[in-house]
């Protein structure tokens, strides 16, 4: 399989040259193949979320490179990064990050606004995704009226509405019970079967020890400590 993401000597330092300087990531190098499911593991503060946001082009590294399909994206201007985020990545955040005052349908439509799709088409695309997750019945409901599990599925629907190549999920089971966590893993497995590359940051053994995970990168203090494990 060809590498979809290549990370070389990646470092991320917050508050650089200041007394409270923090090296969140130090010289990380890794490769992720297209269609692979990988887990970034490690305790809180180990740099999982930072690495995930760098891989997802949500922030820029202090040094090092990230190549997305052989294109160096680590120094691209923000508008190109926004386009890459929109077209290549689907994000499922730990806190879901849904807009609470919007309806389910409006939330799922959000990533499509900057696209060239007309409003009617956007609606159809969003409804189709909601139907796949059996959420079409609640599309007019406001987010604040929904349970945690339902919000999680809506966050996944929003991540998939642009049909991205790569799904990035940050602690997706953090707020779910074991039953809902299993449901989520099944959803992710199905997405992987359809060809999606999935990168999950987690410290939940139920996730990183599951059969879904093909490779695991373990982080400690911003460094890969055990290399790659299968």
Partner 1 sequence: MLRQLKILEFTLSSLLRRKHKNLSLIAVYTFTIATLGSVLFLTHALKLEATGSLTTAPDLVIQRVAAGRHDLIPTKYAEVIKKLPGVESVTPRIWGYYYDSLIKANLTLVGTNSHQGKLDLLEGRLPNNPKECAIGIGVSKAFGPAIGDNLVLEDSKKSRIVFSITGIFRAESNLLTNDLVVLQEMALRDFFTMSPQLATDLVVQVHNQREVKTLAKKIKYHLPDTRPITREEILHTYDTLFNWRSGMMLAVAVAALIAFCILAWDKATGISAEEKQEIGILKAIGWETSDVLAVKFWEGLVISLTSFILGILAAWIHIFVFGAPALVPLLKGWSVLFPEFQLTPAVDFYQIFTLAFLTIVPYLACTVIPSWKTAVTDPEHVMRG
What is the binding site for partner 1 (CB under 8 A)? 49-50, 53, 56, 58-60, 78-79, 82-83, 85-87, 91, 93, 97, 99, 101-102, 106, 110-111, 113-116, 118-119, 122, 158, 162
Q: How far apart are the first and last CA of the chain?
A: 16
Contact (Cβ atoms closer than 8 angstroms) between residue 27 and residue 9: yes
Provide, rounded to whole angstroms, the least separation between the CB of residue 227 and partner 1.
26
Instruction: Name which of 82 and 176 has its Cβ closer to partner 1.
Output: 82
Provide, rounded to whole angstroms, the least separation between the CB of residue 111 and partner 1.
4
* Distance of alpha carbon 78 from alpha carbon 58, whole angstroms: 9
Provide, rounded to whole angstroms, the least separation between the CB of residue 182 and partner 1.
27
Instruction: Name which of 159 and 188 has its Cβ closer to partner 1.
Output: 159
Instruction: Name which of 119 and 225 has its Cβ closer to partner 1.
Output: 119
Of 109, 111, 104, 105, the closest CA to residue 143 belongs to: 104
* Distance of alpha carbon 172 from alpha carbon 200, whole angstroms: 8
Provide, rounded to whole angstroms, the least separation between the CB of residue 161 and partner 1.
9
Instruction: Name which of 34 and 110 has its Cβ closer to partner 1.
Output: 110
Provide, rounded to whole angstroms, the least separation between the CB of residue 67 and partner 1.
19
Side-chain-facing half-sphere of 161: CA atoms under 13 Å? 32
At 90 the three-state DSSP class reads strand
- Give 203's DSSP letter: -
Instruction: Name which of 49 and 181 has its Cβ closer to partner 1.
Output: 49
At 109 the three-state DSSP class reads helix
């Amino acid at each position: 399989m060809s590498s979809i993401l290549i990370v070389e000597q990646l470092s991320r330092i917050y508050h650089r040259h200041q007394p409270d300087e923090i090296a969140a990531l130090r010289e990380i190098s890794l490769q992720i193949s297209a269609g692979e499911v990988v887990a970034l593991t490690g305790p809180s503060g180990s740099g999982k979320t930072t690495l995930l946001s760098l891989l997802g082009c949500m922030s820029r590294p202090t040094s090092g490179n990230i190549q997305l399909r052989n294109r160096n994206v680590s120094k691209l201007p923000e508008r190109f990064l926004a386009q890459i985020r929109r077209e290549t990545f689907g994000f499922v955040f730990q806190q879901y990050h849904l807009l609470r005052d919007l309806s389910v349908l409006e939330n799922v439509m959000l990533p499509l606004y900057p696209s060239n799709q007309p409003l009617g088409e956007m609606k159809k695309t969003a409804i189709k995704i909601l139907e796949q997750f059996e959420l079409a019945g609640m599309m007019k409901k406001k987010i604040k009226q929904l349970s945690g599990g339902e919000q999680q599925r809506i966050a996944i629907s929003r991540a998939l509405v642009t049909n991205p190549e790569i799904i990035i999920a940050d602690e997706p089971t953090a707020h779910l019970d074991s039953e809902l966590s299993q449901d989520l893993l099944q959803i992710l497995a199905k997405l992987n079967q359809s060809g999606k590359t999935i990168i999950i940051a987690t410290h939940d053994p139920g996730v990183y020890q599951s059969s879904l995970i093909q490779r695991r990168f373990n982080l400690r203090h911003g460094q890969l400590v055990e290399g790659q494990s299968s």
